[in-house]
Structure formats: structure tokens, C-alpha cells
Structure 1
């Protein structure tokens, strides 16, 4: 999307808030830059920054930089990531992700009565990688901006809750087994940044294991996008009078997945074949991490109290039930597989 002159003030505001949140996170490491950006954005966007002139740029900064960040995740992982976890790790993540998605979709429709799009966004965000997964899935299922922002806010705040709980729960259950503590954290916490932040509250070895488990979830992002896109397309085909339009869309199979997912898979394949310099990998991680903060800053600035009030209690309950299920399922699976 082309950047216009009227977008510049909003883009600079969002970038500035992201930089400030990143700086502040060094003094409040237990919360992390992503959560700080979201919280500060929500506070500012509903108080002193309510002028409409900010909106075009903030909306641009919220949507587009994160696409580059998602693509660059492919630099950070290789197919050897999967191999290093062994068959147990692969089975654990596959079952954990699948169970999370089906559980979230089920309770979303039956218990919390949310839209199919909101349930899919919650499923992707919790099962894969938080706001990055939601950003990837949202356009493919025709989710509205409010649905996307509410899902991101819910998933991100749920991740903050896990950040405080798992560093206590993991060691108390697994008594110093860094692999299993890493599996619990890497298999449940939403965003990559929150996984690292949570694991860092235990010890450096847990960071390594948790990151590996998390990267396996990230690798499966494209599968989740394809599955949910296909599911949404089938739902639209079943709508009265909509068969012709959806049949036409069905022909354009290559458009089921956005460009950044193809870029992610291409970079993953390339980084598997070619050993990239450590500086390149670190650079990609830094860009991805910062764009994730920018994304949450934009979401916070755009998320209004009216939206939160309309669905806040419902979605907070939805998020709480979801993370409770994730943690219990992970503990059960770890005990069965390991």
C-alpha cells in the first residue's frame, strides 16, 4: 500500500511509541516491549491521541510492517530446527497445536458465541505465534479490523498472564528438567518475544529449548493459514447467492496465501540450504521483533474503549479458558510423550 503524506504523522507516532516501548522494556523486562506497546497504545489512543488525523498512518503501521516481520521469520529457522527436537517434540507440537485450534473453535461457537472469524483468529493466535499469526490469517478469512484488534489484544494479554505463571509452574512440575520446561513454555506462550521473555525468567538453557519448540509452531504457520482460508472459503460458498463469486475465487488458488507466507517458506528453504552469517540471522530477528512491537503499538492506538467494552469481558473469559486448556493439555501431553 502506498504511503501518502497524511499517513506520515501516524506512522511516525506508531514507530515512536514502538521505540519508546522497546527502551522501556529494558527497565521492565518481565512485561516486554510488545505488551508495553499494546498497553501504552490503548491508553494514549483513548485519551490524548483521539484526533482522526492519526488514524491513516497508524492503520498503515499496524498492518504492513508486520508482514515483513513474518517473512523474515524464515531466516531464523531451518528444517534442522525440527530435527533437533526429535520425534517427541514434533508429535507434541502437532498434537498441541491441533488440539488448541479445535478447542478454541469449539468453545468460541458453543460457549462464548463469537463469530467464526473471531474464533479462527483466536485459534491461530494461540496455537501459532500471537499477533503475527492473526495478521496472516485475518485477510484470508475476511475478518474485520475490530475482530482482528480484539483477538490480538486478547491473545497478547493472555500471553502476559502466562509470562508470570509459567516460570513458577514449570520448574515446580519438572524440577530442573530444562527440556520439559522449555516444551511447556514453547508449546503454549503466544508470541516469540513472550516465549523468550518467559523462558528468560527461568534460565538460559530453557530459552534455547523453548525457542526451538516455538519455532516449530512458527514453521507450521503457513499450514494454519491455508487450512483456515479454505474453511472460510467453504463457509462463504454455502452462503445463498454467493456460489459464482466464490467459484471464481477458488480458481485463484495462489491467492489463498499472502505474499509474506511464500516469502517465509522461501527464506526457510534458503536458510536450510545455505548457512547464513550469524549477523544476518540476528539482524532478521531484530527486525522481526521490532515490527512485532510496531504492530502492537498500532493495534493499541486503534483499539478504542467502545470495542473493548463491547466484547472485553467475553473475550477475556475466552482467552482465560483457552490458556488454561493449553497449559493443561501441554502438561498431559508431555507426561504421555516424554
Structure 2
């Protein structure tokens, strides 16, 4: 009971912020509840709510609720998505994700960021924003502070792209809604941002953009596994170089339980096709858990530390975002224009 009491204040505050964000999001759909939630959390957490008694609850909200959100996301997608976008669409997504990951790692290293931040940026931008970052964090043993700062940067950058991609897609592809959907769904970080951005075009673009986005989400398990192996290889290299490594870091990590749960629900939904009430309920819960978790992340973010690294982070975000948009435009022109 004492643990529950310790968690309730921070959890309750995160929930209240999420409710307010959902309400404001109705009037500013172009911004979205997720982005509003993390921004409100940052504002309140660095001004009115710095009390130590909130830490247990915000930490629980940040970690556990985001884990449940990732798992439930699996019940909202199916492998049949592949048949809808064709082999050209699959190739586009695989190449786009690969370029984003390699670009994020390369730029991050050039800017002097460590493995934790570079891999979180790579996965967050290539796959599905906060959910991917939460899934990758344990397998690469990322610091909580790094996770919070990267989630904040990815969400802020995603908001900028969410507002600009409809304009860029119009300039490049005109009234071709398949190609405009591919640009939005193949680039933006979160599902909410994809839907909000594509809605600025029309409902047809929303459908195409969602298909491409779902294909990226389906690759979450693969990315988590590869990043985990890459992290273990880096540890092995450090050991061979004579570095002292803690025993916990040498044990290795398998897929987190919630990523495995994501895969199980995805497979189950693909072979059985869950009733709408179940998949819809999973989607609703997943969205709420994510928004509450983002509020907690905002509350826990040290704004002073974030701003201190602001210039490098801004360059990093702009660099990765530019790589994503340019590569998507090139790949769409090469692989998708012929079928559009």
C-alpha cells in the first residue's frame, strides 16, 4: 500500500495533464494531444511541480504506462498491411528506415553524442517516436535523462514536420494522394502526428499515410533486436579494449516483455482479426497511456539541462529531419511514382 500511495500523486498529476491536453487538442488538432501533453508537463514540471513526492508517480507513468502503450499497439495492426502497399511500398519503407537510422547514428557521432542518445534518436525517428524509444531504452541500457531528452526532441521535431509536410507534399506531388500519404506516413514519428498531418490534406491521404506508418511500426521488433545486438557488440569491443564493464552490462538483454507482447498481439490480430471493439479499445488505451506517459516525461525533464544542450540538439534534430525528408522524396520518386 505504501508503494501505491507514493505513486498516486505523480500518476494523478500526469493524468490531469493528459486530460487537459486531450481537451486542448480538440481545439488545436494540428498540434495534437501528445505534443500538448509533453509541453504542458515541461512547463509545469519546471515551475510549479518540482516536489520530490511526485517523482515515484511520474517515473511509474513514464516507464510502465509507455510499456503498456507499446504492447497494446500490436492489437491495432496486422501483417495484411504489406499486401496493401505492394512490394514497392515495402522497399520504400525498408530503405527509408535504414537511411534514417544510419543518418541519425552518423550525425549523432559527429556531434559528439553517445551511443544511448544516437540509437534512441535513430529508432525514434525511423519507427514510431516515443513507443520505439521506450522499447529500445532497456536493451541498450539508456539513461532515463537521455530517454526524456530524446523523446522531447523527437516530439518537437515531429510537430514541425507535421505542419510542414502537407505543404512540401503539395509542392512535390500535387494531387497525387498516394505519394503525399507515403511522404507523411514514411517520415513522421508518431501515429497521431501522421493522422493529424494527413488530415490537413484529405481522408484519402490519411488512409495511405496510415498504411505506410503501420508498416514502419511492424518493424519495431526487428529494430529493437538489432539495436540490442549492436549494444552487446559495443560492450564486447570495450571489454577487448580493456575497459571495466559492470556485471549487469555483460548479461545481455532479450526483447522486453512488452515488445514481445506487441508481436504476439500483432500476429494474433493478423490470423484472427480481432473484433472492432477489442482493437478499438486497445487503440484507445494505448493512446491514453502514451499521452499520460508523455505528461510524466515532461514533468521529469530538466529544462535547464535540455536547453544547455539546446544548440547541439537543435542541429541534431534538424539534421535527422532533413535526412528523412530528402531521402523520402528521392525514394518515392524512384520507387512509387510508377505505381501511383
What's the TM-score once normalised by structure 1's chain length? 0.95
Question: Does the 8 Å CA contact 1:66/1:135 hold for their aligned counterparts?
Answer: yes
Secondary structure in 1 matching 2:304? helix
Question: Does the 8 Å CA contact 2:235/2:249 hold for their aligned counterparts?
Answer: no
Equivalences for residues 3-18 of structure 1 within 5 A = 3-18=3-18
Any unmatched runs of 5+ in structure 2? none
Shift of 1:331: 0.3
2:30 corresponds to 1:30: yes
Q: Cα deviation per residue 1:227-263 (whole Å; 9 max; x = unaligned)?
A: 111111111122235589479625xxxx421001111
- Note the aligned Cα RMSD (angstroms): 1.6
Distance 1:334 1:285 in 2: 29
Shift of 1:55: 1.1
Secondary structure in 1 matching 2:251? helix
Distance 2:180 2:107 in 1: 27
Distance 1:262 1:59 in 2: 22
Task: Give the structure 2 partner of residue 275 of structure 1.
Answer: 273
Secondary structure in 2 matching 1:64? helix
Distance 2:257 2:293 in 1: 18
Distance 2:38 2:11 in 1: 16
Shift of 1:309: 2.2
2:312 corresponds to 1:314: yes
Q: Cα deviation per residue 1:254-294 (whole Å; 9 max; x = unaligned)?
A: x4210011111111111111121112221111111111111
Secondary structure in 2 matching 1:4? helix
Q: 1:306 to 1:46 in 2, by over 3 A?
A: same
Distance 1:93 1:41 in 2: 33
Greater displacement, 241-250 / 48-57: 241-250
Equivalences for residues 131-280 of structure 1 within 5 A = 131-239=130-238, 240=242, 245=247, 249-250=251-252, 255-280=253-278
Distance 1:6 1:27 in 2: 34
Distance 2:16 2:249 in 1: 44
Secondary structure in 1 matching 2:309? helix
Question: Does the 8 Å CA contact 1:237/1:243 hold for their aligned counterparts?
Answer: no
2:132 corresponds to 1:105: no
Distance 1:248 1:92 in 2: 36
2:88 corresponds to 1:88: yes
Distance 2:332 2:183 in 1: 8
Q: 1:161 to 1:243 in 2, by over 3 A?
A: closer
Distance 1:119 1:241 in 2: 21
Question: Does the 8 Å CA contact 2:235/2:250 hold for their aligned counterparts?
Answer: no
**What is the number of residues matched between the two proteins?**
332
Any unmatched runs of 5+ in structure 1? none
Question: Does the 8 Å CA contact 1:146/1:307 hold for their aligned counterparts?
Answer: no
Distance 1:141 1:205 in 2: 38
